[in-house]
Structure 1
Amino acid sequence: MARDQPSQMQLIAAKCITFLHRASAIPATDPKVMFKTLPCLVCLSKAQYDWATRVTAVETLAYLTEVDSKLQEVASISNHLIPTLANFLHYKPAGSNQAEVEHISRELRAAAFMAFASLGANDEDIRKKIIETENLMGAVVAGLQDAEPKVRLSAIRCLHSLSRSVQQLRTTFQDHSVWKPLMELLKGASDDILSVASSTLCNLLLEFSPSKEPMLESGAVELLCNLTRRCDPALRLNGTWALMNMAFQAEQKIKLQILNSLGTDQIFRLLQDPELEILMKTLGLLRNLLSSKPHIDHIMGLHGAAIMHAVLYVLEGSSDLAVKEQALCILANIGDGDTAKNFLIHNEEVLKKIKDYMTNKNVKVQVAAIFCITNLIWKDEPGSLERQMRLKEFGIDKLLHALIQTSDTFLWEKVKAALAQFSD
């Protein structure tokens, strides 16, 4: 990689070290990576080298910096790299062959998008610096609509990386309406493009994102529900995750739209998914759907039996305690409704399960179970005395008195709060 070597030798040597680093044979902190390979690749991206060398150097740099935040930080301040990459987006090579000129231009754009995606993966300041590059977002939006799949995929990866910024979601992303070409891309795209595009969608559908409303009006619910039915686990995960984000603090009509489009049968299938993360996001979706008293009562009135069956299935099945905790939190949300409480208080099997989990060795699981009890017995709510009597039949009050001896302060506070609601 010495500067007096031919550029192709430098490039291949830098690729060797890059691949050794990504294969975990050489750490990012090794001087050969940080102070030799990275500067070499940055240097080879400059205008004095031929376009093919520059493209390969930038693609290799993108791969080198993809996962390590320190390498991203160093690269972003190395030798004017960000302005160099910005020039890639607007570079028009000289030549009379229009097809070749277009090919070179696309290769340069795709490489730049890949590098921006890697550089902006973790750091907000780097993302800000990239987004503030002149005409960057316009180039990304154009890239999403490019005829060449390689350019589209790189542009989406860049967009996905930049969409991790809360500040940019509220401002730049709204100004450029990036959701429009993204939604178009999701219709009939290849799995590669679909995977990254749907990951980006998860961020654009967060509660505070201005893109959320227009995306809902453009058929996002149906599109995401269809993703949950795909064979590829990554697509099922992204579909479920995006729906979970969409349901957070949403209006009742949106929640009902999700439930109607997805269907309780599909929710049940997702709760049986072999991928733990998909199961957790499905439980998160149910929690978000069952929030706010009027919403809880309305949704349980329509789908209560199916939802209870699904939650009980999870409590009886998976051995993962984080899953159990989420399922109990859903029951606690149901217990927070006015009429929905009846689904818990009149179900002996559910009450026995809650009682069992109150003595679990995991404190988070215990707290979630006690949360269910507390929501059933608030003194100032109609019917609380009858519900308390019902729980006393199961020995819940005695169990709470036993748990007050706990040395865990968080658990003790929750037990104390529950006992305070019980009438003597």
Structure 2
Amino acid sequence: MNFTKHNQAVLDLDSSDPAVRVKALRFIKNNIIGNKTKKDLYIGLNVIPKLVTFFIETEGVDPEVQIQAAIVLGSFAYGGEENVTEIVKHEAVKPLLECISLKNDPRLIEAAARALKAIYKCPTANKNDIFQGYHLQDLITLLDPDALKPKTDREKIASVHTAELAATIIARCCDTNEQQIQIAQAGAFPKLVNLLTCGFSKAQEAALDALAYLCRENSDFGKEIVKTKSETNEDPVKIMLNLIRDKSPTMRLISAKCLTHLCRAKAIDEYLNDITLAVLPTLVKLLDEKGPVREEAPHVLAYLIRDNEELQKAACDSEAVSKLAEFVTHISDQNSSYYDPLGDGDKLKENALMALAAISSLTDEGRKLVVDAKIIPHIVAAMSHRSYGVRAAACQCTRSLSRSVHILRTNLVDAGIATPLFKLLSDESTDVQTMACATLCNIVLEFSPMRKQIMEQGGIEKLVKLVHSPDNTLRLNAIWALKNLVYHAESEVKYRVMEVLTYQTMEKLIEDPELDVQEKALNLLRNLACPKPEDIEEVFKGLTESRLMNIIESKLCCSWSDEIIKQILFVINNIATGNEYHKKTIMSRTNILTHIKNYMSHQNPDIRVAAVWCLINLTWMEDKHSSSQLRVRELRQFGFEDIVKNMANDENLDVREKVKMALVQFSQV
């Protein structure tokens, strides 16, 4: 390689002659486009800070120099994450954002927007700069092709292309709800909807993508998009349903994606028939395409049908399972027709597993189809895959399948799922550890034949270690798995768990900053104090009577979470199933009794049921012993009998049934 001419090109950037600078920039541009080696060479020659200087020290800088410099920066940005890191390090983003203002040459605006599009494609790129000052408003303005006042056909095409770039940047800059809000408030919706009717497919695709991300998990914005008409008074949903029949696979995919996001945002419930008959079949057919379209289609399909039993059944009735299963079993075989050098095989396998997990998450029909596709051994193998995304997806698939006791007892056991799943608790990826913990929540239940195997391999120790994780979701899933492990377990299992976890740690988890963690920790306490008096006594010893009652009082008094109230009431309920001493411990706390009585009129019927259950167990008499009768009389004096009499006509059937039981108890004394 002739390094001299490349060195000279970099030196020529310092020339005072604009023509020399432009020639040098064009030389660099022609050398680095599509050539990683040359990009690395010029980065090593420290060319990026020189390029940035052309936008900062603008006095006397020829506009053509800035245009060519922006093009070169964009080419570097398309070279991958390392190059973007270099560009960001040399503070090029803000100067490029300055270039997208309408006061600049349209060619410079387009070049800068192209560079920004490449920069923001990198997931680690900081998006904050775009929300500072007037940059976001400039970007929204560019969504209107007429804003650049094109006169010739060539200029019109260029302005539409700039609008496409602006829409793509927006799609990549709405990761958070706050970013969605700022983009919406800047007026993005009307301009993006108008862009759907521009007639240029790439710009339409970019607008669809931006709208999809702006309404992701955002019901308010989904509804706002749906009611936003185009300038020609066209309905955006009908436009999308029309575009989903486009001849371009990419257009069909992105239209399906946008409709999926609107569907998930509960913004188009009246279009459910179209979702079932148009969007879902389109996504299944796109599994036959090549490259990136086929790679993303399973991901969109998984998101569409997640938590929706009707759509999962519709997916079962299609050819989705067989096609997805083929990806899982054959994608690693380069001789297979499923190997596609233009796509990412690992990503396709990950997305296929996620789609299979979604299809089998709610229905036995879906689980049976997945099992019949004979891919369980491949799911097990995927737990050791090089890609953390594939490993996590394999866990998710296992989690869905393990919801069937029959499949858990037979197919998953026979496939030897326990050992590779257990290893993933120590995975280098927190996401994989989190999903492995979530999967273990099903695996360790009392009906599972793998519970003993997990324990023998040190599962308790691994889960306790993860309970201390700073990651909220991982901590939640770890305590969730532990509370399932002790559910209906032998006393020896409970003792072993608490020997490792310790009651002190459980106390800390009961006061965790995350309410979900608190709720699962209380559920663990509930499961420990059940069903034998010896189990309850062990909890009394572990926490001490005083600390246990203080925890109960604290949660009854200070919780605003229905789930936490319910769990603490069931802790009381389980203690009240114990011996006379355990019942008296609760009876001695007037504050606890007051809260139980108050919760009998709670608006949540589950809480009313739990409160009445506490009363049933407190009034339960194994015999006509005087202490039992005294307890019932004390509760009558406390007003409980009058309360339950007033609940006899409760609107909830379960509450009414429990009330009948309680009244029978009072009638015996």
Question: Which band: TM-score by shorter chain?
Answer: 0.7 to 0.9
Cα shift at 1:143:
0.4
| Counterpart contact for 1:332–1:368, Cα < 8 Å | yes
| Counterpart contact for 1:370–1:418, Cα < 8 Å | no
Alignment of 1:247-396 (within 5 A): 247-291=486-530, 292-305=532-545, 306-320=547-561, 323-338=564-579, 341-345=580-584, 350-355=589-594, 357-358=596-597, 360-362=600-602, 363-364=608-609, 366-375=611-620, 377-379=621-623, 384-386=625-627, 388-389=629-630, 394=634, 396=636
| Counterpart contact for 1:228–1:240, Cα < 8 Å | yes
1:15-44 per-residue CA deviation (whole Å, 9 max, x = no partner) reads 343344344443484455333332222222
1:418 aligns with 2:656: no
| Distance in 2 (alpha carbons) for counterparts of 1:347 and 1:167 | 41
Letter aligned with residue 14 of structure 1: A
- SS at the partner of 1:164? coil
| Distance in 2 (alpha carbons) for counterparts of 1:223 and 1:396 | 48
Who is 2:440 aligned against?
201
Who is 2:250 aligned against?
8
Structure 1 residue runs of 5 or longer lacking an equivalent are: none
Cα shift at 1:109:
2.1
| Distance in 2 (alpha carbons) for counterparts of 1:405 and 1:104 | 66
| Distance in 1 (alpha carbons) for counterparts of 2:494 and 2:569 | 21
| Counterpart contact for 2:379–2:398, Cα < 8 Å | yes
| Distance in 1 (alpha carbons) for counterparts of 2:244 and 2:549 | 67
| Distance in 1 (alpha carbons) for counterparts of 2:297 and 2:635 | 69
| Counterpart contact for 1:321–1:365, Cα < 8 Å | no
Given the superposition, is the C-alpha separation of residues 404 and 60 from structure 1 closer, same or farther in structure 2, using an over 3 Å criterion?
closer
Letter aligned with residue 570 of structure 2: C
Identity of aligned residues (%): 28
1:228-263 per-residue CA deviation (whole Å, 9 max, x = no partner) reads 322333223212221221111111111012222222
| Counterpart contact for 2:555–2:568, Cα < 8 Å | yes
- SS at the partner of 2:589? helix
| Distance in 2 (alpha carbons) for counterparts of 1:190 and 1:122 | 27
| Distance in 2 (alpha carbons) for counterparts of 1:314 and 1:70 | 39
Cα shift at 1:280:
2.7
Given the superposition, is the C-alpha separation of residues 344 and 304 from structure 1 closer, same or farther in structure 2, using an over 3 Å criterion?
farther
| Distance in 2 (alpha carbons) for counterparts of 1:311 and 1:57 | 49
Among 351, 355, 369, the alignment partner of 1:111 is 351
| Distance in 2 (alpha carbons) for counterparts of 1:189 and 1:295 | 37
| Distance in 2 (alpha carbons) for counterparts of 1:395 and 1:84 | 63
| Distance in 2 (alpha carbons) for counterparts of 1:147 and 1:252 | 40
Who is 1:33 aligned against?
275
Normalised to the residue count of structure 1, the TM-score between the two structures is 0.84
Cα shift at 1:302:
4.3
Given the superposition, is the C-alpha separation of residues 63 and 410 from structure 1 closer, same or farther in structure 2, using an over 3 Å criterion?
closer
Cα shift at 1:354:
1.7
| Counterpart contact for 2:577–2:618, Cα < 8 Å | no
Who is 1:93 aligned against?
334
1:180-204 per-residue CA deviation (whole Å, 9 max, x = no partner) reads 1111011143222122221111111
Given the superposition, is the C-alpha separation of residues 259 and 33 from structure 1 closer, same or farther in structure 2, using an over 3 Å criterion?
same
1:351-388 per-residue CA deviation (whole Å, 9 max, x = no partner) reads 4522553354244354134134225x5326xxx42465
| Distance in 1 (alpha carbons) for counterparts of 2:635 and 2:535 | 31
| Distance in 1 (alpha carbons) for counterparts of 2:575 and 2:568 | 11
- SS at the partner of 2:334? coil
| Distance in 2 (alpha carbons) for counterparts of 1:219 and 1:116 | 30
| Counterpart contact for 2:384–2:391, Cα < 8 Å | yes
| Distance in 2 (alpha carbons) for counterparts of 1:105 and 1:149 | 13
Cα shift at 1:145:
0.3
Structure number with bigger Rg: 2
Given the superposition, is the C-alpha separation of residues 276 and 398 from structure 1 closer, same or farther in structure 2, using an over 3 Å criterion?
closer
Given the superposition, is the C-alpha separation of residues 17 and 401 from structure 1 closer, same or farther in structure 2, using an over 3 Å criterion?
closer
Given the superposition, is the C-alpha separation of residues 348 and 179 from structure 1 closer, same or farther in structure 2, using an over 3 Å criterion?
same
| Counterpart contact for 1:94–1:101, Cα < 8 Å | no
| Distance in 1 (alpha carbons) for counterparts of 2:270 and 2:262 | 10
1:243 aligns with 2:488: no
| Distance in 2 (alpha carbons) for counterparts of 1:402 and 1:82 | 57
Alignment of 1:46-61 (within 5 A): 46=288, 49-61=289-301
| Counterpart contact for 2:421–2:436, Cα < 8 Å | yes
| Distance in 2 (alpha carbons) for counterparts of 1:407 and 1:23 | 38
| Distance in 1 (alpha carbons) for counterparts of 2:270 and 2:359 | 15
Among 222, 230, 235, the alignment partner of 2:469 is 230
Letter aligned with residue 415 of structure 1: A
| Counterpart contact for 1:93–1:101, Cα < 8 Å | no
| Distance in 2 (alpha carbons) for counterparts of 1:247 and 1:166 | 18
Who is 1:399 aligned against?
639
| Counterpart contact for 1:186–1:197, Cα < 8 Å | yes
- SS at the partner of 1:171? helix
Worse overlay, 248-257 or 405-414: 405-414
Given the superposition, is the C-alpha separation of residues 44 and 304 from structure 1 closer, same or farther in structure 2, using an over 3 Å criterion?
same
| Distance in 1 (alpha carbons) for counterparts of 2:569 and 2:644 | 20
1:63 aligns with 2:307: no
Given the superposition, is the C-alpha separation of residues 403 and 73 from structure 1 closer, same or farther in structure 2, using an over 3 Å criterion?
closer
| Distance in 2 (alpha carbons) for counterparts of 1:391 and 1:144 | 56
| Counterpart contact for 1:345–1:387, Cα < 8 Å | no
Q: Report the count of equivalent residues.
A: 408
| Counterpart contact for 1:357–1:366, Cα < 8 Å | yes
- SS at the partner of 1:361? coil
Who is 1:155 aligned against?
394
Alignment of 1:127-138 (within 5 A): 127-134=367-374, 136-138=375-377
Given the superposition, is the C-alpha separation of residues 202 and 272 from structure 1 closer, same or farther in structure 2, using an over 3 Å criterion?
same
| Distance in 1 (alpha carbons) for counterparts of 2:513 and 2:411 | 38
Given the superposition, is the C-alpha separation of residues 66 and 385 from structure 1 closer, same or farther in structure 2, using an over 3 Å criterion?
same
Cα shift at 1:171:
1.5
RMSD across aligned C-alpha pairs, in angstroms?
3.1
Given the superposition, is the C-alpha separation of residues 28 and 304 from structure 1 closer, same or farther in structure 2, using an over 3 Å criterion?
farther
Q: Which has the higher contact order (CA 8 A, sep 6+)?
A: 1
- SS at the partner of 1:358? helix
